[in-house]
Amino acid sequence: MRLKVTVAYNGANFVGWQRQSKGRTVQKTIEDVISVILNQPTEITASGRTDSGVSALGQVFHFDSDFNISPQQWQKALNTQLPDDIYIKDVCAVSDDFHARYNVVSKRYDYCIQTGDYDVFSYPFVYQLNRSLDLDKMRECAAMFVGEHDFTSFNATPLEILPYQIRTIKRLDIIDEKDKIRLIFEGKGFLRYMVRMITQVLIEVGLGRLNSQDIQSMFELNNKQACKLNAPAQGLVLVEVRYDC
């Protein structure tokens, strides 16, 4: 039986999703628990990786099991043994050809910026900029990123690893939440640091340090030296991964 699992986690105390030789990762933490339940080494496959310090409300992974318990029992068993900074939101049985990564229709990432006074309660999940931003200018420039573009200048994935860096952003909204600003990104897939780099570019626009001409120049340069900006990890959350099934 193939199981599709939706999981939330607080990324503050992890060095990222992907299993690594050093450091605490979300993937290994979950795999260790499943392996104990199944009494054999088990790997899980996620919709994609999140970096150190990035959290998730709706990450999705799948794994295969011959263990004869229901999805609801799996959810309870996993939550009983997982640490408090990981929570299984849903488990459901899916067809054997379901793939958590390859079947993704779209993903939503939110990036939250504190523009009001420093907030001691939200600092692990919100970028504490603590400065006002010009939202009209940010929205004007955000529109430049919507649609299909070559995002070579706006991500850290090396061209030697992935020469084709054209992606489509379906939505990039900027929401005023009084003392906070929320950027909502939706698209089928994003390259390494892509959301955070675009976010920092828009922050610089909001602070009056960059404008639309600067962004256009970055697009035209189309190289890894065009943009060296990258917003802090803690403001980023993987909110939802959508599938047809």
Active site residue: 32, 51, 64, 179, which one?
A: 51
Contact 206, 141 (CB under 8 A): no
Q: DSSP code of 14?
A: S
Angle formed by the axes of helices 194-206 and 135-142, to 10°? 140
Contact 206, 25 (CB under 8 A): no
Strands 55-64, 236-242: pairing is: parallel
Contact 59, 50 (CB under 8 A): yes
Strands 106-114, 45-46: pairing is: unpaired
Q: Which residues of 165-181 are buried (b: 16+ CB within 10 A; e: fewer)?
A: bebebeebebeeeeebb
51 among known catalytic residues: yes
Q: Tokens for 124? A: 């692990």
DSSP string for 69-128: --HHHHHHHHHHHS-TTEEEEEEEEE-TT--TTTT--EEEEEEEEE-SS--TTTTTTSEE
* 3-state SS, residue 11: helix
Active site residues: 51
